[in-house]
Amino acid sequence: MRRIAMAVAVVLTVWKPALGQVPSPGRVGLIVEGLGLWQERNDVRIPPDTGTPFSIADLIGRASTPSIRGELTIEVTERQELRFVYAPLRVTGRGTPVSPIAFAGGLFARVPTDADYQFSSYRGTWRYRVYQGDTWTWRVGATAFVRDARIALAQPGQAAEDTDVGFVPLGHLSADARLSNR
């Protein structure tokens, strides 16, 4: 959690100068989506050289998992926008491995095992409208992408996890087309 807070602080520090350009309050858009997630394949081997390859989908099943996604867009100036996306993804369940699993320093027997898979993403984008016509609008910009990944297994008396939080700078290109005037 501390790493995520540090990444958010970096993102906000980078965009603070853009916020100073606001001549007057702009439009704000909020989208919240609910969704169902099905995993068909989710293969794991940690560590990659000595861990046992196994499938989280096979271990805990492929049932639907509810999730959400949120997007906030703020018009900073007439041509600039800030866009923030929060997309948490987490799948949990219990199953019994078909064979022992060596995972993240632990050895898990063929007994009921709790599994937790997380791959959440947080994105902050600055984008600039380079063209707006009757049909098309084009924007370019930069995105700071922070991913928060975690895989954990637990059995009575033992648990192991592998976590990874990372920052990825990305270019941003978007196009919107108005298909009709309605």
pLDDT (tens digit, 0 to 9) for every residue of the chain, 182 residues total? Answer: 444 444 444 344 444 444 444 344 589 999 999 999 888 899 999 999 999 999 999 999 888 899 999 999 999 999 999 999 999 999 999 999 999 999 999 999 999 999 999 999 999 999 999 999 999 999 999 999 999 999 999 999 999 999 999 999 999 999 999 988 77
User: Is 123 a member of any domain?
Assistant: yes
Strands 101-103 and 106-108 come out as: antiparallel
Q: Is 136 helix (H, G, I), strand (E, B) or coil?
A: strand
User: Is 182 a member of any domain?
Assistant: no
Structural domain tally of the chain? 1
User: Is 32 a member of any domain?
Assistant: yes
- pTM for this structure? 0.76
User: Is 150 a member of any domain?
Assistant: yes
User: Is 81 a member of any domain?
Assistant: yes
- Amino acid residing at 144: A
Domain range holding 91? 2-177
- CB crowding 88-100: b at 16 or more within 10 Å, else e: ebebebeeebeee
